[in-house]
Amino acid sequence: MPACEIVENPTSLDGKKIISSFVAGYAKLREWSSNNEHRKAIDTAISAVVKHETIDNENTVLNLIKSRKYVVLEGAPGTGKTILAKKVGDKLNAEIFFTQFHAETNYSDFIYGIRPSLNQSNLSYQENKGIFLKSLQSAVNNPSKKVLLIIDELNRANLSNILGPIFYLFEYKMDENSVNIELCNGFSLKKIPDNFYVIGTMNTADRSLAVVDFALRRRFAWYKLKPQILNSSNFFKEDFLKFQQIFDWYASSEELNLQPGHAYFIADSKDEMEQRIRYELFPLIREYLSEGIMLKAKEEFNKYFFERIGEILFK
């Protein structure tokens, strides 16, 4: 990969850092390091010029939900998607409804259907209002109150089957005089009320999930959450940076979406962090490698886990 940088003063401390990082980067690419001392020297030279950006996700998503109303937060596990959605709801001062999709979720679960009554000797049925209908009716009946529906694991279910005709209502800048959609007996809408908001979350690491079609993508705004450094006393920054470095150097564009998020590196003690590495991160990376993901980084991960917890990925 061609790369260049103009060094104004090569003999200055900053100039030497830049030159050293370029040499170290080339050495890492060519795999010239032959022992731990070499590897640490290379990593030190590179990390001296790396800049870590902290993004204010909370306020960014808050402004986005205010302007677009329907937002999907996507990212790798541990990037705090669900927690962020709840924080945004609190900042929005909204009544929060929460649900989580799974493979068997359907229209009658989410919107409206009928279910057999279990409290009578004779077979009878009763209506079942799904959480979407309940949250929507709350918004309609209380126009001065904001209502937020959080849909966790949005792409774990067949969205076409779940949304049905209400899919049309999510059209951005909906024309109120176009279509009247009936959700249940006696309740229909031409337009989703202005005080109703939706935040969905999607785990980009789960490759078994349903594909989200382009029509849905057009109706929602999409915001990607990335692993980032936290300014917290219980955040194990060194471990986080090691994982980030491995992914930066060895991951393909698609594999970058699988980097474990910052939540994996939060622990109240060194012992707890070791437990997280041993029983959460170690199995996760082993699963990645078994699935053919991050194979180029196999040796780097092996070195990390052996030095950290005395374990190797494959014996």
10-residue averages of pLDDT along the chain (315 residues): 82 89 83 78 81 81 94 91 94 94 86 74 76 91 94 83 77 66 77 91 69 72 91 93 91 89 94 96 94 92 94 83
Extended strands (E) in 163-299: 181-184, 187-189, 196-203, 221-225
Query: In this structure, what CATH number is given to the domain that contains residue 188?
Result: 3.40.50.300
Q: Are residues 170 and 245 in the same domain?
A: no
SS3 state at 229: coil
Cβ atoms of 111 and 132 within 8 Å: the answer is: yes
Task: Quote the pLDDT of residue 141.
Answer: 92
* β-bridge pairing 181-184 and 125-129: unpaired
119 shares a domain with 207: yes
Same-domain check for residues 46 and 172: no
pTM listed for this prediction: 0.80
Q: Are residues 239 and 201 in the same domain?
A: no
Residue from 213, 181, 183, 216 nearest 200 by CA: 216
Which has the closest alpha carbon to 181: 196, 164, 165, 194? 165
DSSP state of 280: I
**Number of folded domains in the chain?**
3
Domain range for 258 is 229-315
Q: Are residues 207 and 76 in the same domain?
A: yes
In this structure, are 239 and 206 located in the same domain?
Answer: no
Compute CA distances 248 → 57, 269, 294, whole Å.
21, 27, 11
Q: pLDDT at position 253, please?
A: 84
One domain for residues 184 and 256: no
pLDDT for 127: 78
Same domain, 91 and 156: yes
Q: Which of 157, 191, 225 is the last residue of a domain?
A: 225
**What's residue 1's pLDDT?**
64
Residues 217 and 235 in one domain: no
Q: Which residues of 161-171 are buried (b: 16+ CB within 10 A; e: fewer)?
A: ebbbebbebbb
- pLDDT at position 240 is 95
Same domain, 86 and 202: yes
* Last-in-domain residue among 51, 67, 90: 51
238 and 182 fall within a common domain = no
Query: Final residue of a domain: which of 196, 225, 254?
Result: 225
One domain, residues 105 and 207:
yes
Distance in angstroms (rounded) separating the CA atoms of residues 159 and 71: 15
